[in-house]
Amino acid sequence: MPKRVVILGGGFGGLYAANHLAGKDVQVTLIDRRNFHLFQPLLYQVATGELSPADVAFPLRAILSRHRNIRVLMAEAVDVDVAGRRVILEDGAAEPYDELIVSTGARNYYFGNDSWAEYATGLKSLEDATKMRHRILYAFEAAERTTDPEEHRAWLTFVVVGAGPTGVELAGALGEIANDTLKGDFRHVQPEQARILLLDNSDRVLGPFAPDLSAAAEKALIALGVRSLLNVKVTAVDDSGVTFQSATGSERIHARTVLWAAGVAGSELGAKLAASAGVPLARGGRVAVDANCALPGHPEIYVIGDLAYAVDASGKPLPGVAPVAMQMGSYVARRILGRETKPFEYWDKGTLAVIGRASAVAQFGKVHLAGAIAWLSWLFIHLMFLVGFQNRLIVFIRWGFNYFTYNRGARLITGEGVPLRSHDNEGNAVSRH
């Protein structure tokens, strides 16, 4: 009987592993709680109304079901019975494995302040993205309606916490929405007067990039009307704004829209797995793996992608980005097939971050690019890796329309269940520090 391989999670890591195991002499079960693969790098464009959820998601069955040795199961894995070599599903069913690949990714993390989650929307799922879209667009609508100048200002103040690639991309897109997309759409709101603040506790934006690219990104953000507040530490987020600590003391920003791009932590299944295997969790709720991406002492369990805490030859932790997950997925699949004996090595082909219209930064080894060429590289690479020809074509068209008309095709305020602060209390006194 062929080996039973269970893959948890259909993100980049799980999907690349499954693709490498397709048609081979192994029995693969891929388990995901959603029925689609999500192209996370473009999620911020859903949050900002440029793309539609279906453009960045692709049904897992449509990708994998033609391979007869792969079974897809829509289910939530809640625990791993390491000793019994079984995955426990949410309905109590157990899925036995000979080898296990855990690639359940990361979740939003608020540095232990879970209550902030209600006010500072993160960006890990499609639901996060449509909620963020709802909040951003609704803020302009609420500002249009309010007659209180203070509230008007608070609705037009957007705070993005975290100036890594996601935070920079969100802040840049907010700048475009305010300056271009919504221009002339309102009677009492001048969208271009929106305040967009980008907060980070480090001393520059895009920390993982080289300093010259951080400087270029900062300049591009300023041109879009984004103001960065660096070396600050957020100490409170509530329904009327953000409090932070800077060198000059504690400050308060009165803002109705706070977006969270500051922290992620390993998914909850990582903690369950570590407990079941009797190993401690690494930094950020991630699971430390050995040089083969395996759980120490458990060569039959691989942990890959954002959930894994892996270090390169120099001892530096690998970043939580899509290429690492993809390469790990292919690597562990080759190991399972007995075709790989060397330790995992990440081949860094480069990093990109988009800031706005015709503006991005790219770091390909010693080559640093900023501006239109970096932006074109970004467009091309993201289109290339997007799953599904239909998605590629439609994303290409939406980008083209956005570029030439400044409009955003998917700026809908949807989701009745979205917990949104009511504007009934507009004009009421709000706490300020």
Q: Which residue has the tokens 């309102």?
A: 186
Nearest approach, Cβ of residue 55 and its own copies (Å)? 7
Binding to its own copies by residue 124, rule CB under 8 A? no
Q: Site for its own copies (CB under 8 A): which residue of 73, 229, 279, 381? A: 73
Binding to its own copies by residue 95, rule CB under 8 A? no
Binding to its own copies by residue 415, rule CB under 8 A? yes
Q: Please identify, using beta-carbon distances, which residue of 2 and 296 lies nearer to its own copies.
A: 2
**63 close to 36: Cβ distance less than 8 angstroms:** no
CA distances from 412 to 51, 130, 228, 354, 397 (A): 11, 9, 28, 23, 18
Q: Site for its own copies (CB under 8 A): which residue of 65, 113, 115, 190? A: 65
Binding to its own copies by residue 86, rule CB under 8 A? no
Q: Site for its own copies (CB under 8 A): which residue of 4, 61, 86, 153? A: 61
Binding to its own copies by residue 390, rule CB under 8 A? yes
Nearest CA-CA partner of 106 in 182, 11, 21, 24 = 11
Q: Site for its own copies (CB under 8 A): which residue of 414, 431, 432, 433? A: 414
Nearest CA-CA partner of 36 in 17, 19, 61 = 61
What's phi and psi for 98, nearest 5 deg?
Answer: -95, -40
Record the tokens describing residue 338, joined without a space.
């007995």
Stretch that binds its own copies, among 236-244, 264-272, 349-357, 411-419 (CB under 8 A): 411-419
Binding to its own copies by residue 407, rule CB under 8 A? yes
Binding to its own copies by residue 420, rule CB under 8 A? no
Binding to its own copies by residue 19, rule CB under 8 A? no
Binding to its own copies by residue 22, rule CB under 8 A? no
Q: Is 251 a catalytic residue?
A: no
Count of chain residues binding its own copies (CB under 8 A)? 57
Nearest CA-CA partner of 117 in 285, 259, 268 = 259
Burial of 92 (0-12, 13-18, 19+ CB in 10 A): exposed
Binding to its own copies by residue 426, rule CB under 8 A? yes
Terminal Cα distance for the chain, rounded: 67
Q: Which long-range contacts (CB under 8 A, 24 or more apart) does 240-249 make?
A: 240/154, 240/430, 240/431, 240/432, 241/154, 241/157, 241/159, 241/430, 242/120, 242/159, 242/161, 242/199, 243/433, 244/199
The SS3 assignment for 309 reads strand
Binding to its own copies by residue 184, rule CB under 8 A? yes
Q: Site for its own copies (CB under 8 A): which residue of 54, 230, 236, 381? A: 54
Binding to its own copies by residue 275, rule CB under 8 A? no
**57 close to 67: Cβ distance less than 8 angstroms:** no
Q: Please identify, using beta-carbon distances, which residue of 68 and 316 lies nearer to its own copies.
A: 68
Helix (H) or strand (E) run with residue 300 in it = strand 298-303
Binding to its own copies by residue 391, rule CB under 8 A? yes
Site pattern 137..156 for its own copies (x: CB under 8 A): xx--x--xx-----------
Q: Please identify, using beta-carbon distances, which residue of 32 and 200 lies nearer to its own copies.
A: 32
Q: Site for its own copies (CB under 8 A): which residue of 3, 27, 62, 276? A: 62
Q: Site for its own copies (CB under 8 A): which residue of 153, 195, 411, 421? A: 411
Binding to its own copies by residue 66, rule CB under 8 A? yes
Binding to its own copies by residue 126, rule CB under 8 A? yes
Stretch that binds its own copies, among 267-275, 336-344, 349-357, 384-392 (CB under 8 A): 384-392
Nearest CA-CA partner of 167 in 204, 125, 134 = 204
* Maximum CA extent, the chain: 72
Binding to its own copies by residue 52, rule CB under 8 A? yes
- Active-site entry in 95, 151, 169, 218: 169
Binding to its own copies by residue 55, rule CB under 8 A? yes
The residue type of 31 is I
Stretch that binds its own copies, among 14-22, 179-187, 251-259, 307-315 (CB under 8 A): 179-187
Q: What is the CA radius of gyration of the chain?
A: 22
Q: Please identify, using beta-carbon distances, which residue of 33 and 334 lies nearer to its own copies.
A: 33
DSSP string, 61-77: HHHHTTSTTEEEEE--E
CA distance 131 to 422: 15
CA distance 368 to 213: 7
The catalytic site residues sit at 169
Q: List residues binding its own copies (CB under 8 A).
A: 34-36, 52-55, 57, 59, 61-62, 65-66, 71-75, 90-91, 93, 125-127, 130, 137-138, 141, 144-145, 182, 184-187, 388, 390-391, 393-394, 397-398, 401, 405, 407, 409-417, 423-424, 426
